[in-house]
Amino acid sequence: MKYVFALAGNQNSGKTTLYNALTGSNQHVGNFPGVTIEKKEGQIKKHKDASLVDLPGIYSLSPYTMEEVVTRDFLLKENPDLILNIVDATNIERNLYLTLQLMELSIPMVIALNMMDEVRASGNSIDVKKLSEHLEIPVVPISASKGEGISELLDVVMKTAQDKARPKKLDFCTGEVHKAIHSISHLIEDQAKGAKYPVRFAATKLVEGDEPTFKALKITENQTHIISHVVEDMEKALKTDREAALADMRYRYIEQICEDAVIKKQETNEQIRSEKIDRVLTHKYLGIPIFFGIMFFIFWITFGALGAPLQGYLEEFIGAFTELVSNLMIAGEVSEWVYSLVIDGIFAGVGSVLSFLPLIVILFFFLSLLEDSGYMARVAFLMDKLLRKIGLSGRSFVPMLIGFGCSVPAIMATRTLSSERDRKMTIVLTPFMSCSAKLPIYGMITMAFFPENAALVMIALYITGIVTAILSGLLLKSTIFKGEPVPFVMELPAYRVPSRRSVLLHMWDKAKDFMQRAFTVIFLGTIIIWFLQSFNWSLNKVDDSSYSILATLGSLIAPLFIPLGFNDWRASTAIITGLTAKEAVVSTLSVLTGAITDTDLSTVLNTMFTPLSAFAFLTFTLLYMPCIAAFAATRKELGSMKYAVLTALYQTVTAFIVATLVYQIGSLII
């Protein structure tokens, strides 16, 4: 028999860490809400007959956000054999709120009580046996990050699934709420069974006024009228609204459980430490300057103190390997065109991109530390006030933050936003955040023109992207996306020391992705670019690439960039090929200029650009529409090719305007 288990829990409760421990998967673990944006499935180690589905972290089963919709739909429609509910033991009161809702689904269930090591270290305790007796479902204490209790948890999960032991306690309501839920349960019992909805869950959702449940059960007009009267009577008796009444009911029961099973002498050591650190890092006036100071330090290390020497060593290695292959091909009397393809095409294009690998690894080492420590959640909190001024909530910062890594998952991460208006607006603005694919471009230009001020140039580019997003937000919120942002609620996780495995995994993921792109998209692109710049329209090989097919095509659009300070067909061609992958800008320029090493490339670039026009070129590549993959993600999330095209055009026009202003204003000053 094949078992399917659903892993459900609050955001930032350790879900992905537990998933990795049970399946051996290598998903990245982040210490801020919204890491898992889609369900992921993996086979449980040592149990080939069981798979685990990692569902997005949620706080309730009310379908307000895409992540709640994904989780709820899976639990209701896919009929998993068991729910593995992970509960953060350091914040058990809040976590049990979702637990009570999951119990109403009447699916076999086991609670993994996570972070018990932190509870013990703080002198607090939880009576696991009493907690299990109150809920009448198995509870297993674990520490997912340290691997404690995982084998015991798995044994309990398998036994519960085999026994098909469903939660016995479904009724924990009293008074008027009890009367309302049970009245509606009798009214819709047959319809709930017909729709394969648990009766208790369906009745509770109807009390809440949950529209999807009304539709799924095909509630008649007469039944709607009766339900409205029942709910109105409950609200009058309790002098509160329906949602507050249900929340009060659940939290009263949770208080009873915790009073009997939880001994809490003080906050955990992690929470106490976090409060002290937050007095500085989330300071009203110092918080944002500290953030920019941290980022400047990271850029200085990445592009200067550590990254530049490592890049130089790798460049020397690639140069030596290229020379070795060149000598072997010459000795083997390889034909001229094959030699040109391999050395002037593949090695020049792919090699120039690979030399920037150390920058990618170092940057994401530091970003992983910030993310896994819990600091990035604080940055979202700090940015809320700023984002609210442009019509977004601080929660939009999470997709934008992910956008510094890659625009594709960032665009997908907008699913976590509950407001459709906020979601669409965030999709438009997120690509203005500089993704990691643009780092080789920055490295190439800064090395050629600003070697002594690389960190300053980098921070200027990132600030330019942020400021452009802010100004675009102000424009869009008063035109296309009128309205107010939804209230911002985000859990601030306790600061934790990032695990070595998680940090190394994050670095490896980025390095692997970079290498894959270098040897697939960039590899293919360099061959195409080599061919187009080596032959004319009569397919005769040319000695001067300015007479090639590519030169003809590039020359057609080159005049468009005169306001930006450059009019070289090679630069305009690189911008076009950058639509396949931003790293292709570097490989294209390497192939077109015939540069074998980064030093050669820097020399040629100084004939194509001035320092000011080079910065304008950087500004344009920072802001114009992202790669084809990001465009496809935009089309999928917006649900329309028309809107995706308009979004890409808006981003490109914005890039042109900003880059033009940079050059023209800079020309007046300089």
Per-residue pLDDT tens digits for 235-276: 899 888 888 888 888 889 999 999 889 887 766 677 778 888
Residue with tokens 């042109």: 656
Please tell me the least confidently modeled range out of 337-341, 403-407, 579-583, 665-669.
403-407
Residue 558 or 437, more confident: 558
Q: For a pLDDT cut of 70, what percent of the chain falls above it?
A: 92
Residue 176 has a CB neighbour count (10 Å cut-off) of 18
* Confidence check: pLDDT of 32 > 50: no
Q: 289 vs 283, 285, 293, 428, CA distance in Å?
A: 10, 8, 6, 26
Contact 407, 651 (CB under 8 A): no
pLDDT at 79: 87
What distance in Å separates the CA atoms of residue 10 and residue 334, rounded to the nearest whole number? 62
* Confidence check: pLDDT of 488 > 60: no
User: Which residues of 223-334 form beta strands (DSSP E)?
Assistant: 262-263
Model confidence at 399, in pLDDT bands (50, 70, 90)? confident
What distance in Å separates the CA atoms of residue 3 and residue 49, rounded to the nearest whole number? 6
- The SS3 call for residue 110 is strand
- The SS3 call for residue 59 is coil
Q: For a pLDDT cut of 90, what percent of the chain falls above it?
A: 20
pLDDT at 112: 95
What distance in Å separates the CA atoms of residue 24 and residue 54, rounded to the nearest whole number? 13
Residue 321 has a CB neighbour count (10 Å cut-off) of 12
pLDDT at 649: 93
Residue with tokens 């018990």: 116
User: What's the average model confidence in pLDDT over 630-650?
Assistant: 86
pLDDT at 121: 84
Supply φ then ψ for residue 135, to 5 degrees.
-85, -20
Residue 114 bridge partners (DSSP): 88
Model confidence at 346, in pLDDT bands (50, 70, 90)? confident
pLDDT at 27: 57
* Confidence check: pLDDT of 77 > 80: yes
CA atoms within 13 A on the CB side of 132: 14
Structure tokens at 438: 């643009």
Q: 616 vs 272, 404, 458, 606, CA distance in Å?
A: 47, 20, 13, 14
User: What's the average model confidence in pLDDT over 76-104?
Assistant: 91
Residue 62 or 349, more confident: 62
Structure tokens at 585: 């800008």
Amino acid at 309: P
Residue 546 or 161, more confident: 161
Model confidence at 228, in pLDDT bands (50, 70, 90)? very high
* Confidence check: pLDDT of 412 > 90: no
pLDDT at 313: 85
Contacts of 333 (CB under 8 A, 6+ apart): none
pLDDT at 155: 92
pLDDT at 31: 46
User: What's the average model confidence in pLDDT over 606-627?
Assistant: 90
Model confidence at 485, in pLDDT bands (50, 70, 90)? low
- Range with top average pLDDT, 171-180, 486-495, 616-625: 616-625
Nearest to 34 by CA among 57, 6, 68: 57
Contact 509, 360 (CB under 8 A): no
What distance in Å separates the CA atoms of residue 339 and residue 180, rounded to the nearest whole number? 81
Query: What is the 3 state secondary structure string of 484-526?
Result: CCCCCCCCCCCCCCCCHHHHHHHHHHHHHHHHHHHHCHHHHHH
Model confidence at 7, in pLDDT bands (50, 70, 90)? very high
Distance, C-alpha 614 to centroid of its chain:
31
Contact 114, 142 (CB under 8 A): yes
- The SS3 call for residue 149 is coil
State the chain's mean pLDDT as an integer.
83
User: What's the average model confidence in pLDDT over 297-305?
Assistant: 80
411: alpha, beta or left? (left if phi > 0; alpha if psi -120 to 50): alpha
Residue 536 has a CB neighbour count (10 Å cut-off) of 16
Residue with tokens 């008796």: 237
pLDDT at 614: 92
Distance, C-alpha 356 to centroid of its chain:
23
Structure tokens at 324: 């070795």
Q: What is the pLDDT of residues 162-218, one digit of tens each?
A: 999 898 877 777 788 889 998 999 899 889 888 888 898 899 999 888 888 898 899
Q: In the chain, what's the furthest Cα-to-Cα distance?
A: 94
Residue 54 bridge partners (DSSP): 7, 40
Crossing angle (nearest 10°) for helices 357-373 and 439-449:
120
pLDDT at 597: 66
User: What's the average model confidence in pLDDT over 59-82?
Assistant: 81
Structure tokens at 65: 């956000």
